[in-house]
Chain A
Amino acid sequence: MSAAGGSDGAGARAVGAATPAAIGVGALAGLLLRARLRSTWGSVRARPFGAPAVLLLFGLASAAAYTGLFAAALGAIGARAGGPQAQAAVLGLMAGAVALASLGAKSSGEGLFAGSAETEFLLARPVSLGRLVAARALCAAVAEPFGTLFLLPLLMAAALAWELPAAVWLVAIATSALAQTTITATSQALQVAVVRWVPRARRTSLFVVLRLGAAVTMAGAWVAATWVLRAPAEVARHLDELQAWLDFTPVALLTGPLAAYRGPGGGAAALRALVPLGLVAAASVALAVGVARRAGLRGWEEAGAPWAETGATAPTGAPLTLVRREWRLLARDRPRLAALVALPLLLFGVQVVGSVGWSVVGASVGRVATLVVSIVVYLGALGPLGHMQHERRAFWILRAAPVSMGRLLAAKARAWSALLGGAALLLFVPLALGVPGASPSAVAGGLGLVLGAAILTTVLAVAIGAAAADLSDDGQAALGPGTVYLFLFVAGLFNVVVQVHGWDRARLVTLYTGAVIVLWRAGVARMGACLDPEARAAPRPRSTDAAILVLIAAAAPLALERGLARVEISAGSAAIAQVVTILGLGLASLAVLGVGSSSSVLRATLIGLASAAAARVLAPLAFGIGPTTTFPPATWTRPEVLAVAALVACADELVWRGVVQGAFERELTTRARGGDRTGARWGAAVAALLVAGLAARPSPGGTSTIVSWLAVAIAPAAARAASGRVLAAVVARLLLLASL
C-alpha cells in the first residue's frame, strides 16, 4: 500500500534488495502510451467498420476540415484587416479558447476518479500517484495529438494561411504536444486537489460545477470559432481591442513559436519561443506531482465511486410508478440533471449570441420555433434517448415483471415528453412574444408545432433508444455514437416541418408520424429481446430502414432547397446537390439491401421488360399519355444527362422498390395467414406507391405531372411485386425512361 500510496520510493526502500526498483515516470508513460495505441489499433482491427474505426476516421476528417476552414477564415481576415498581425490575434483568440475548453473538459472528466477501471488497475500496482500523474501528462503529449478540441489543426491552419514551409509543422506539433502536457497536468492537479481537500459531501456538487464550467468554456470556444468563420470581416474590426486583451493572457505561449518562425529569426527563433512553453509544461507537471504527493491516496480511493455515498438515504415520497421512477432517477442523478438543464441553455446562448445571432433567430416566429425545436432535439439526445443506457444491468427488474414492453416504453415517453414539452414551452413563449409584430395566432401556431415536436421527439428518442439497445454484453454501451447521430438527424428533420407550409407540412407531418409509429413498434419488439445477443439478426430491409429513408427522401430535398436558397447558390449547383442527395440515398439503400443472389436474374429482367412494355402500351389508355410524350427538358437528349438520369432512376428504385416496398413485403408476409406471399407482394406494391406518392413533392405541372409520375412508378412496382426482385423494377424503370 505504501508504494502505491503517498510518498514515492518509500515503499521501495522498505523492502529487500531483491525487490525490483519502482518503475520510472518515463517507462510508465511509455507503457501507458503503448497500451493506449495498441488498444486503439486493436479495437479498429477487431471491428474495421465498427464505432472505433468510424470515430477515428471522423476525428481525422474533422481535423482536416477544421484546418481547411480556419485557413480560409484566417486568409479572409488577413486580406481584410491588415495582414499577419490581425491573423495572429485571431489565432491567439482561437488557440486560447480551445486550450481553455480543453482544460475545462479534462478537469471535469472522470478519467482520474477511483471509479475509473484504469486508475484502480494502476494504483493496485507498485505505482505511486505522483508518478501516475506525471506519466499521464507525458503520455498526453503523444497520445492526444489533435487535442480535445483540435489545437494542432488550428496551428496547422495558421501555417497554411501564412504559407510557411512544411518544416514548421514540426513546430506546430511540438507546440500542441507541450500544450497537451500542460493541460493534462494542470487538470490532474486540480482533480487531485478536489478529491483530497474538498469534503466528500460537497465533492459531487463541485464536480457538477466543474462540468458546467467545462460546458461554458466549450460553448465559448464554439462561439469564438463560429464568430470567426461566420463573420471574418466583423472579427477584423475588433482586432485592436482583441489584441490588447490577449496581451494579458498566456495565449502568446501558444502562438509565439509560429509567429516567431514567420519573423527574420526563422526556425531558431521558433525553437527559442518554444522554451517558455516547455518551462510552463514542466512546471505544471511538477505542480501535479507535488499536489499528488501531498495528497497521497487519502480520499482518492472513493472519489466518484458509488460507495462514497455511504449513508445516503432516500427521502420519502409517493409510491413509485413507472413514470415517477423516471423523474426520481433523473432528480437523483445530479450530473445528468445539471447537463440536461445547462446544455440546452448554453446551446441557446451560442445560437443567439454566437453562430447565428439574435437578429436572425428573432426575425420571425418560425425561426424561433426552429431554434426551440433544435434545442428540444438536443434535449432528446441528452435525456430520453439514453433510457436503456440508464437501465443497463437493472433492466432485469422490469423485464421480469408482468408489464408489456409497450406499456413500459409508453411510461418512459410520458415521463420525458412532460419534461421536453415543458422546456419547449418555457423557451418558446417568451422568445416568440419578443418577436416584433408577432400575431397571437402565429405564436399559438408556433407553440403547437414546438409542443408537437417535443412529443414526437420524445417518442422517437424512446423508440430509437429501445430499438438500438443491446444489454446482452455488460462490457458494451447500450447506446453507440451512431445511434445518437441517427437520432439527431432524423429528429432534426422536424425542422423542415416547421419551415414549410400547406400541403408540404401536412404530408411531412403524416410521414413523420408514420415513421415514428414504425420506429416505436421496432423499439418495443427489440426491447423485449435486448438481453438476447442473437436477437439482432433481423433480416433486411427492415421497416425501420424504410421509415428513415422515406423521411429523408421526403424532407431532405426541401431542406436542401431552403438551405441553398439562403446562400444564393446557382440553379445548376442546386440541381447537382439534389442529384447527389438522391444518389446518396440510393447508395444507402444498396448498403441496406446488399447484392442479391444471381439465381433469378434472367427471370427478373424479363419481368421488368414485360412490365415496361405493358406500361408503355397501357399508359395511353389508362392515363392519356400519348406515344410521343416526352418529359421536359429537351436537354435530356444529351448522353451525359441521360446517364445521370439513369443513375437517379436506379437510386430511386433502390429506395422505393428496394427498401420501402421490400420492407412492406416482409411485414405483410409475416402477418399474412398461411404465408400468402403473392398477396403480400401486391399489397406491398400498393402501400409503397401510396407512401411514395405522399413523399413526392407536388410540382408545377399539377395533375399531368401526377399522372406521369404514376405511369413511371406503377410499372416498376408491379415488376417488383411479380418477381420479388428490385432488379426487375430497375429494368422496367430504365426501359420506360428510354422509351419516354
Chain B
Amino acid sequence: MIETVGLTKRFGDKLALDRLSLAVEPGEVMGFLGPNGSGKTTTIRLLMGLLRPTAGSARILGLDCHADGLALKRVVGYLPDEPFLYPYLSGREVLELVAGLHGMTGAEAKRRAERAAADAGLGEAASAYTVTYSLGMKKRTALAMALIHDPQVLILDEPTNGLDPRGAREMRDTIARLAAGGRTILMSTHLLEAAERLCRRVAIIRAGVLQAVGTPDELRARFAAAPDTSLEDLFLHVTEPGPS
C-alpha cells in the first residue's frame, strides 16, 4: 500500500533521510516515530511528492510519489504538521475550494464542504475567517480537507501536535474511527501512548536512518526488553544518541 525503497533525501551536505525502506500494509495504521529533526516530516513530504528524492523511490497504491503525483493525490489525504490556511477565507470556503480541486462540481462541492465542516465540528465557525481559528480548529479543518475526497490512504504529520488534552483526545478518536473504517494510515507522532493504542506497528527513525519497525511486542523482543517495558522507554532506548 505504502512502500519506500532506499528512499534518500539530501539537503546540501546534510543527509536528511538515508535509504529508508518501509512498507505499510493495506488497512494498517503505522506510527512513524522519531526525535525532532530525525527525518519524519521529510519522509512524509517525499511521500506527498512535495520534495524530490535524491535517491530511491516511494510508492503508494502502486503509484510513484513523484512521477504520478496527480493520480496519487486523488487517493491520498494529507494533514501537515502546521496546517496554515488562507487567513481571509472562511473554513467552509477553504473546504469548497479543496472539493473543487478534487473535481467536484459546484453543488457537490458545497454539499461535501458542509458535511466535512459538520463532521469536523466547526459549527458556526465554518463561516468565520480562518485567521480567527485556534490551532485545534485549524487542525480539524485541515483534517476535514484531507478527508473531503474520501481517500483510501491518510498521511498525518503530527496530528495531535500543539493541541490541548481535549483536542488531542478528539483527534485520536477521529483517527481510531478512520482506522476502523479500513483506511491505511501513516502517522508521525510524539505521543507514544497514543501510538501504542492506535497503531498496529511502529517505525522508529533517528538521524534519517530507520532504527526499527514492528509491533511493540516485536520491538520489545528484538531489543531484549521486559514485556512491561513501555513504548516510551523502548523509544528512548532505540533513539539514544550514539552511532546509528
Interface positions of A (Cβ within 8 A of B): 306-307, 309-314, 316, 318-322, 325, 328-329, 332-333, 392-394, 396-404, 528-529, 531-535
Contact = CB atoms under 8 A, between A and B. Distances in A.
Given A397-B94, A402-B74, 9 more contacts: A312-B129, A314-B127, A314-B128, A328-B89, A328-B93, A400-B48, A401-B101, A402-B102, A532-B52
A314 B90 contact: yes
B70 A319 contact: no
Nearest to A528: B69
A314 B89 contact: yes
B132 interface: yes
Contacts of B98: 397, 401
B131 A534 contact: no
A403 B101 contact: yes
20 contacts: A306-B87, A312-B131, A314-B92, A314-B93, A314-B127, A316-B127, A319-B96, A319-B97, A319-B109, A321-B100, A322-B97, A329-B89, A332-B89, A332-B129, A396-B80, A528-B69, A532-B50, A532-B51, A534-B10, A534-B52
Contact of A320 (B50, B69, B97): B97
A404 B129 contact: no
B17 to A, nearest CB: 12
B78 interface: yes
Question: Which of A314, A392, A532 has the largest number of chain B CB atoms within 10 A?
Answer: A314
Given A393-B82, A401-B73, A311 B50 contact: no
A312 B106 contact: no
B50 A396 contact: yes
A535 B52 contact: yes
A392 B88 CA distance: 14
Shortest 10 CB-CB contacts between residues of A and residues of B: A314-B90, A393-B84, A401-B101, A402-B73, A332-B88, A320-B97, A306-B131, A402-B74, A319-B96, A400-B78
A396 B74 CA distance: 15
Nearest to B48: A400
A329 B52 contact: no
A529 B72 CA distance: 16
B131 A309 contact: yes
Nearest to B78: A400
Contacts of A321: 97, 100
B73 A307 contact: no
A400 B73 contact: yes
B143 to A, nearest CB: 13
A320 B112 CA distance: 13
Contacts of A400: 48, 50, 73, 78, 80
B114 to A, nearest CB: 11
Contacts of B132: 307, 309-312
Contacts of A532: 50-52
A694 to B, nearest CB: 35
B57 to A, nearest CB: 16
B106 A319 contact: yes
Contact of A333 (B83, B88, B128): B88
Nearest to B10: A534
B90 A397 contact: no
Nearest to B155: A400
B68 to A, nearest CB: 10
B84 to A, nearest CB: 4
A397 B58 CA distance: 21
B71 interface: yes
Contacts, number: 116
A458 to B, nearest CB: 21
B223 interface: no
Contacts of A318: 106
A682 to B, nearest CB: 30
A397 B138 CA distance: 13
B168 to A, nearest CB: 22
Given A309-B131, A309-B132, A319-B110, A531 B50 contact: yes
B48 A311 contact: no
A307 B131 contact: yes
A257 to B, nearest CB: 48
A330 B88 CA distance: 9
B238 interface: no
Contacts of B102: 401-402
Nearest to A316: B127
A309 B86 contact: no
Nearest to B91: A314
B89 A399 contact: no
Contacts of B83: 396
Contacts of A392: 84
B11 A533 contact: yes
Question: Which of B73, B84, B98 has the largest number of chain A CB atoms within 10 A?
Answer: B84
Question: Which of A394, A401, A533 has the largest number of chain B CB atoms within 10 A?
Answer: A401
Given A332-B88, A394-B85, A402-B102, A325 B97 contact: yes
B181 interface: no
B145 interface: yes
Nearest to B103: A402
A476 to B, nearest CB: 15
B93 A403 contact: no
Question: Which of A306, A397, A533 has the largest number of chain B CB atoms within 10 A?
Answer: A397
B45 interface: yes
Given A312-B129, A534-B11, A320 B89 contact: yes
B11 A402 contact: no
Contacts of A316: 127
A399 B50 contact: yes
A332 B129 CA distance: 10
Nearest to B84: A393
Contacts of B71: 402
Contacts of B92: 314
A534 B74 contact: no
Contact of A403 (B51, B52, B70): B70
Nearest to A306: B131
Interface in B41-81: 45, 48, 50-52, 54, 69-74, 78, 80
A165 B52 CA distance: 63
A734 B90 CA distance: 65
B241 interface: no
